[in-house]
Amino acid sequence: MTLAVQDLDAAAGDPHQQLIDAVRAGGPGALAEELGDRAHVLSALTGFPQELFTPADPSAEAFRDVIGSLHSLRSAIDALETRAVVALADSLTLRRQAEARAHAAQESGEEPPPAPLLRAASREAAREVSMLTRRSPASASRSLAARRRLVADMPVMLSALADSQVTTEDAYRTARSFAPLTPAQRREADRLLGERLPYLDGAGSEEWSDARAAAISLADPDGEARRHQHAKRDRHVTVRRGEHGMATVTAQVTALDAALIRKRLSLEAERLRAAGDRRGHQAIQADTFVDALIGRSESMEPVTLDIGVIITDHVLLDPGAGDLAQIEGYGTVPAEAVRESLRDPLDAIAGTDEDPLGPDGPALRAVLRKLYEHPRTEELVAVESRARAFSPALARFIRLRDRTCRGPHCSAPIRHIDHIRPHAAGGETCLDNGQGACAFCNDKEQQLASVERVGDPAVDGHVVEWTTRLGTTRRTRSARLSAAEDERQDPPSSNESGSSSECALPSESASSGSALPSEPASSESDDVEPPPHGPR
């Protein structure tokens, strides 16, 4: 069965709908044949393109359209495959149930219970998918479980995948992260995440992770501590072989420990590079990691690590408040994941009789600082700073606000504080014109047609629009502080863009949350003034 739109009778109605109805009427066999024919055409074009992919300046827009169409086609196929794999598993379950009933009719024993039949059918389906797609059985089995959740309980995310609003990786990660929820909670979290899709258009993996965590927290606020403790029991270390005599060591640890490890290694790499070490930053981190673990050397100098932990005053005092915490350099975590770690520093601040941090307590204890939250966009908008110089204080605040690189779909660590409008073009060095960027995205002026602030800051928050020279547009936003349900208006359309020129810190309509960035107590000044609305 090979049909084309032009072969159908236009007088009988929408030819595209006729094609869809014809495939539906033919069943899975017709769908397989149709997809096989299309795959043959695409494979032939890849193997024997002739002049199809000859580069030419006028063809740049056409090649862009080809890539966009292929992405849409891949997303639609992945969504179809999701349904097909679940249908395969269900068909195998029905077949096994029929075989069990037939066997029970001939034997005196009872029919096996449905749960073992379901597990056996799922393993059989995973094996079939593994061999068809050349993936490991373990990977196929994990994806089958995620696909079941997408089909059964996550219609919004499955539709978004089919329409190429999300990538396959994001859809499957979301389905896996929803595993601890009940079916009803999954449907609610799916709905909440669907409402956030317009704001995740240019999001990277870190912002997607934060959005998933917020949806889960809202759908099941009482299960936060339970989920964290359950995940904590899964701590482990794995070693996977790599290429050319290399290997990858992975440790599943708590988020706060991971952030401290990462910062410790990065500081050591920066120290050695400043001392003249010619190795790359990442190579020094890897070597230092190995040396410290196996005791090869004692080269790391003792330091006091400075990691910012953002947590609202509500959840710090009341674990049932439902807000999530943020760890600088990591992202969103359940508040329960940091409350225990913060208890000793807070006791030290309170001035208990015996300092739990020992004789070095005054130098090590945490510093409390108020961060102010926008009441609509839930972004950080101002800080009560005690740093000695304005530039370091502002740079630290932008890192806390953006958390990862603001480039579209980029979740790399922030390496530079970038001017959205370049300084050479009149851009001011201020909070509104600043964003966190990695080294690659900091070179945006050479890669793109424009990068500019858009929208109304009082309504939309800190929104940056990135536009390529071929017209592709993505918008990125500062991460939200809390997990409260989004009450913002619909995001402005791309033709409503306008660069914001205001660089003063917001002076009104700012609510606040409490924050606990751990910073050396010697940084004291008032370079960045808070808005007049104080913390609640």
**Per-residue model confidence as pLDDT tens digits over 242-280:** 887 788 999 999 888 888 898 889 988 999 999 999 999
Average pLDDT on 221-233 reads 85
Instruction: Report which DSSP code applies to 398.
Output: H
In this predicted structure, the answer to whether residue 76 has a pLDDT above a threshold of 90 is: yes
**pLDDT recorded at residue 482:** 56
Q: Are 383 and 372 in contact (CB under 8 A)?
A: yes
**pLDDT recorded at residue 534:** 37
349-370 pLDDT, tens digit each: 555 555 544 554 444 445 555 5
**pLDDT recorded at residue 210:** 86
426-459 pLDDT, tens digit each: 888 788 888 988 888 888 888 888 999 998 887 8
Q: In sequence order, what are the residues at sequence separation of 6 or more whose Cβ sits closer than 8 angstroms to the Cβ of residue 327? A: 255, 256, 259, 307, 308, 309, 310, 333, 338
In this predicted structure, the answer to whether residue 462 has a pLDDT above a threshold of 60 is: yes
**How many CB atoms are located within 10 Å of the residue 141 CB?**
17
What is the C-alpha to C-alpha distance for residues 526 and 528, in angstroms, rounded to an integer? 6
**pLDDT recorded at residue 497:** 43
Q: In sequence order, what are the residues at sequence separation of 6 or more whose Cβ sits closer than 8 angstroms to the Cβ of residue 179? A: 145, 149
What is the C-alpha to C-alpha distance for residues 292 and 300, in angstroms, rounded to an integer? 8
Q: Which amino acid is present at 359? A: P
Q: Backbone phi, then psi, for 518, in 5-degree steps?
A: -80, 110
> Quick one: tokens of 108?
């005196």
Look at the pTM and tell me if it is higher than 0.85. no
In this predicted structure, the answer to whether residue 298 has a pLDDT above a threshold of 70 is: no
Beta bridge partners of 370: 514
Q: In sequence order, what are the residues at sequence separation of 6 or more whose Cβ sits closer than 8 angstroms to the Cβ of residue 220? A: 180, 181, 182, 185, 189, 227
Q: Which of 24-33, 94-103, 381-390 has the lowest mean pLDDT?
A: 381-390
Q: In sequence order, what are the residues at sequence separation of 6 or more whose Cβ sits closer than 8 angstroms to the Cβ of residue 508? A: 531, 532, 533
In this predicted structure, the answer to whether residue 325 has a pLDDT above a threshold of 50 is: yes
What is the C-alpha to C-alpha distance for residues 456 and 428, in angstroms, rounded to an integer? 18
Among 374, 385, 530, 364, residue whose Cα is nearest residue 459: 374
Q: Provide the CB-side half-sphere exposure for 400 (13 A, CA).
A: 31
Compute the chain's Rg from CA coordinates: 27
Q: Which amino acid is present at 209? A: S
**pLDDT recorded at residue 151:** 95
Identify the band that residue 171 occupies on the pLDDT scale cut at 50, 70 and 90: very high
